[in-house]
């Protein structure tokens, strides 16, 4: 048997081959023709042998031709495949499309049932399938999942950057100390994907068909495909990564804009976490804030299929990767091969969520960590890498500023709300303090609010008198106050002494001290009541608890109280001065009335000739004396009324009064003066007028004053008018519903616009020369206005310069 056929000896023996005729080739035999013994049992003759040799020569030539054609066809197919790969990778930009193209072209020229493109991530030192096809079906769920360097033969090809070919995959894995990851694969070969001097991955094929044998030529062809596609894979990955990072940066800019557009902290935290999970394309995430008091990490927001019942839960400082992120003030990454020993594993069990990869980045403002953003599991199955960490760190920096702004805004808003509330309370206190000018009431109000706002159980407030404190109001110190003489206590408590000496509020713990008024007291507060630089009083509070009190509020309260107290003191002094003035004016008026009455009486007797006939000059002198006495009497009467009004001593005797009778009475008393000036008086009074509820004398005084002014400031032969009507009260919404409306009209000199603004002022006299011709005190209209308003009415006027004036006033209708 020829030596080249020794490997087939067993099969040839079964066939009973005895004659072997070579199929000659140019350099080596193309094959052999093997025949058994002749059926006749006769040996082969030389003729037979020559025939067989000639036939084999011809057959060999034919076989060579066929092999040459087949080889050319295969080479053409291989070249076409390589050309299509080359063309495809130059026009295909999508990473996944590049991998799909490599598989399709490779499968056309190399028989395969298993095709893998294994890639290597150098930064994180792990391997993963970029493309996985087994049993002629693509398995995408196995793609992008990291596996160890000892899994299969792909990592071996990448690490050594050398091809591997074997006809027994399982035995080859065992020989190299690797764990097989493919089942029932016989022939297998893999070549490195070389981009320059760097192996970025491996291209491998395998077959479940035991008859398939991979050759060196196929290995070279596979390497040629790998060489052409390695660069395309690098470019596609760079393009995909660039597009991904550009999108992430664009998203980051948009997110940054969004973060600055809201100051609602809860909404902001939700947006931060949702955007952090979205920008890194993760499955889930959590956001924690650091409790500044305890250092604990508080779940604030969760996204994804993690347990929502974790919100509000607290983690002790240092727990898990979020705790380490706070402690190290830097990002922490834990990928799947690290999670077995992770300190965060217990929290994962609480959520019921399987974590393959975790990344936590602290939220820092200056040197202070305010929280942590944690993202879980990239959706593409890959672990977190340095680029992810850089991106999330940049995002976290913006988010931390947004959170700090929202926190400061919330604090500012809360402080503003508290300040507004305090101002509102202070406004209420001011209204109560200013509602009355009584010092005792101001003291009670101040003490009540101090107790209400401080929560103290007992307190007192008083005014300083030399070295003592005169207690004006107290609560809770009944037994102590009862033992004081004239409610005056010595300022001998240490806290009171310090407040008095320094002029500053004092708060002291007196739980173990005897210097207190209540034996159960724990805290004392003393607030000096200051007026300018002087302490005029003290607010003293005692509380049975140790809670902190807003001393600043109490200080502002006493400042406002000091103003009210000072106003009350000033008001008291003014009242006393008014009373003294009223008493003096009343005394003077009384003392002047008697001599004026005598002067007027004797003047009238002399003028009437009671003591003899008088001449014309004497008559004129007596008329002058009488006129000035009447003027003086009016002045004294006006001063007396004004003093009583200011002092609040003017008394009214209200009763139902007939307006018609009152008008008639006033007209009769003044008829002679009106007739002397040849003026015409028109009276407009309807019948059946209801009575007024008023002081008859005072309403008569008002009407007399107005009519007197009308005839004095109206030239001779002028027109005067008095009118009365019942009407709804259109002039005073807060007054009586129905009133008697009275008016006095004239066509006299009228008033300028400037004078109209000052008409009811005390002692006002117009600068108009014609107005100055008539005598007056400037008190009449002011007294008239007070008399009308004190009886529940209203007074007003209309006037046109040099055309006349009309004065109106109202008096309530008497009920029933």
Query: Are the CB atoms for 127 and 147 separated by under 8 Å?
Result: yes
Q: Which residue do the tokens 């004095």 mark?
A: 712
Residues 707-739: b if buried by 16+ CB within 10 A, e if exposed = bbbbbbbbeeebebbbbbeeeebebeeeebeeb
Largest CA distance in the chain: 212
Angle (CA) 141 145 147, round 5°: 130
450 token code pair = 């101090």
Q: Which residue do the tokens 């994907």 mark?
A: 193
d(CA 602, CA 604): 5
d(CA 323, CA 342): 12
CA torsion through residues 464, 469, 472, 476, sign: positive
What residues of the chain score a pLDDT lower than 50?
Answer: 338-348
3-state secondary structure at position 129: strand
pLDDT at 312: 85
d(CA 120, CA 158): 8
d(CA 363, CA 372): 5
Query: Are the CB atoms for 285 and 374 separated by under 8 Å?
Result: yes
d(CA 9, CA 192): 39
Distance from the Cα of residue 26 to its chain's centroid? 93
User: Hey, how many other C-beta atoms are within 10 angstroms of the C-beta on 684?
Assistant: 12
d(CA 478, CA 467): 22
d(CA 345, CA 328): 19
d(CA 664, CA 669): 9
Which among 138, 85, 87, 137 is positioned nearest to 108, based on CA atoms?
85
Compute and round to an integer the Cα radius of gyration of the chain. Answer: 58
pLDDT at 341: 44
What is the three-state SS of 64-126?
A: HHHHHHHHHHHHHHHHHHHHHHHHHHHHCCCHHHHHHHHHHHHHHHCCCCEEEEEEEECCCCE
d(CA 157, CA 188): 12
146 token code pair = 């990291």
d(CA 696, CA 661): 10
3-state secondary structure at position 2: coil
586 token code pair = 């009343």
d(CA 521, CA 540): 13
d(CA 411, CA 416): 8
d(CA 400, CA 259): 10
- The DSSP string of 542-569 is EESS-----HHHHHHHHHHHHHHHHHHH
Query: Are the CB atoms for 289 and 268 separated by under 8 Å?
Result: no
Query: Are the CB atoms for 265 and 277 separated by under 8 Å?
Result: no
Residues 606-639: b if buried by 16+ CB within 10 A, e if exposed = bbeeeeeeeeeeeeeebeebbeebeeebbbbbbb
Which among 402, 391, 382 is positioned nearest to 129, based on CA atoms?
382
- The DSSP string of 623-678 is HHHHHHHHHHHHHHHHHHHHHHHHHT------EEE-HHHHHHHHHHHHHHHHHHTT
74 token code pair = 């295969």
pLDDT digit string, tens, across residues 631-662: 788 778 877 888 888 778 889 999 999 999 99
d(CA 771, CA 458): 66
pLDDT at 132: 93
d(CA 83, CA 86): 5
d(CA 638, CA 783): 8
d(CA 654, CA 813): 12
d(CA 429, CA 560): 8
Residues 6+ away with beta carbon under 8 Å from 184: 208
- 682 CB-contact burial (10 Å; exposed 0-12 / middle 13-18 / buried 19+): exposed
Q: Which residue do the tokens 């395309």 mark?
A: 232
Residues 6+ away with beta carbon under 8 Å from 609: none
In sequence order, what are the beta bridge partners of 633? none
Which among 740, 732, 644 is positioned nearest to 690, based on CA atoms?
740
Q: Which residue do the tokens 């004016």 mark?
A: 585
Which among 502, 504, 559 is positioned nearest to 529, based on CA atoms?
559
d(CA 245, CA 366): 27
Query: Are the CB atoms for 314 and 296 separated by under 8 Å?
Result: yes
Question: What letter does residue 521 receive in the DSSP assignment?
Answer: -
d(CA 445, CA 465): 21
In sequence order, what are the beta bridge partners of 314? 298
């Amino acid at each position: 048997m020829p030596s080249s056929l020794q490997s087939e000896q067993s099969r040839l023996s079964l066939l009973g081959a005895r004659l072997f005729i070579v199929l000659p080739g140019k350099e080596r035999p193309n094959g052999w023709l093997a025949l058994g013994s002749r059926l006749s049992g006769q040996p082969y003759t030389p003729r037979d042998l020559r025939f067989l040799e000639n036939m084999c020569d011809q057959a060999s030539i034919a076989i060579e031709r066929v092999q040459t054609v087949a080889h050319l066809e295969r080479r053409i197919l291989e070249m076409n495949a390589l050309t299509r790969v080359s063309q495809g990778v130059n026009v295909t930009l999508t990473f996944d499309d590049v991998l799909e193209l490599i598989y399709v072209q490779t499968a056309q020229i190399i028989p395969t049932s298993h095709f893998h493109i294994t890639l290597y991530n150098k930064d994180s030192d792990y391997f993963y399938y970029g493309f996985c096809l087994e049993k002629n079906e693509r398995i995408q769920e196995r793609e992008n999942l990291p596996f160890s360097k000892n899994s299969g033969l792909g990592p071996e090809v990448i690490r050594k950057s050398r091809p591997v070919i074997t006809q027994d995959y399982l035995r080859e894995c065992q020989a190299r100390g690797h764990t097989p990851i493919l089942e029932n694969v016989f022939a297998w070969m893999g070549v490195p994907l070389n981009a320059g001097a760097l192996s970025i991955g491996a291209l491998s094929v395998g077959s479940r068909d035991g008859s398939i044998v991979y050759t060196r030529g196929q290995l070279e062809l596979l390497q040629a495909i790998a060489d052409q596609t390695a660069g395309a894979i690098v470019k596609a990955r760079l393009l995909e990564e660039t597009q991904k990072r550009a999108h992430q940066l664009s998203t980051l800019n948009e997110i940054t804009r969004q973060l600055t557009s809201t100051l609602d902290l809860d909404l902001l935290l939700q947006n931060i976490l949702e955007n952090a999970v979205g920008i890194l394309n993760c499955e889930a995430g959590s956001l924690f804030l650091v409790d500044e008091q305890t250092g604990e990490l508080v779940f604030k927001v969760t996204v994804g299929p993690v347990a929502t019942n974790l919100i509000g839960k607290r983690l002790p400082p240092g727990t898990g990767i979020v705790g380490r992120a706070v402690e190290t003030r830097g990002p922490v990454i834990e990928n799947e091969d690290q999670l077995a020993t992770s300190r965060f594993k217990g929290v994962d069990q609480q959520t019921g969520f399987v974590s393959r990869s975790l990344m936590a980045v602290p939220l820092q403002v200056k040197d202070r960590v305010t929280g942590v953003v944690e993202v879980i599991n990239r959706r593409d199955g890959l672990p977190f890498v340095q680029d992810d960490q850089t991106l999330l760190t940049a995002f976290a920096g913006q988010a931390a500023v947004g959170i700090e702004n929202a926190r400061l805004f919330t604090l500012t808003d809360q402080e503003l709300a508290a300040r507004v509330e305090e101002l509102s309370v202070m406004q209420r206190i001011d209204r109560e303090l200013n509602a009355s000018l009584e010092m005792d009431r101001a003291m009670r109000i101040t003490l009540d609010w101090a107790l209400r706002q401080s929560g103290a159980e007992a307190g007192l407030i008083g005014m300083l008198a030399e070295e003592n404190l005169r207690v004006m109001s107290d609560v809770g110190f009944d037994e102590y106050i009862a033992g004081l003489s004239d409610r005056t206590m010595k300022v001998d408590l240490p806290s009171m002494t310090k407040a008095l000496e320094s002029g500053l509020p004092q708060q002291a713990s007196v739980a173990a001290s005897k210097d207190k008024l209540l034996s159960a007291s724990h805290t004392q507060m003393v607030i000096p009541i200051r007026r300018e630089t002087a302490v005029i009083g003290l607010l003293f509070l005692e509380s049975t608890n140790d809670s902190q009190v807003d001393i600043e509020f109490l200080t502002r309260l006493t400042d406002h109280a000091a103003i009210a107290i000072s106003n009350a003191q000033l008001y008291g002094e003014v009242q006393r001065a008014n009373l003294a003035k009223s008493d003096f004016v009343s005394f003077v008026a009384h003392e002047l009335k008697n001599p004026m009455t005598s002067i007027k009486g004797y003047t009238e007797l002399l003028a009437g000739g009671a003591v003899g006939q008088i001449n014309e000059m004497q008559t004129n002198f007596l008329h002058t004396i009488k006129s000035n006495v009447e003027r003086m009497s009016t002045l004294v009467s006006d001063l007396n009324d004004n003093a009583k009004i200011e002092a609040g001593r003017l008394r009214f005797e209200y009763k139902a009064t007939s307006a018609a009778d009152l008008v008639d009475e006033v007209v009769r008393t003044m008829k002679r003066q009106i007739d002397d000036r040849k003026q015409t008086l028109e009276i407009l009074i309807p019948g059946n007028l209801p009575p007024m509820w008023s002081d008859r004398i005072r309403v008569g005084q008002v009407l007399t004053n107005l009519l007197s002014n009308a005839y004095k400031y109206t030239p001779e032969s002028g027109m005067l008018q008095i009118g009365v009507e019942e009407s709804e009260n259109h002039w005073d919404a807060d007054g009586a519903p129905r009133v008697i409306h009275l008016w006095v009209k004239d066509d006299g000199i009228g008033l300028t616009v400037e004078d109209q603004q000052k008409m009811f002022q005390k002692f006002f006299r117009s600068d108009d020369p014609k107005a100055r011709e008539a005598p007056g005190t400037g008190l009449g209209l002011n007294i008239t206005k007070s008399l009308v308003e004190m009886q529940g009415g209203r007074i007003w006027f209309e006037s046109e310069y040099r055309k006349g004036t009309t004065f109106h006033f109202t008096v309530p209708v008497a009920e029933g």
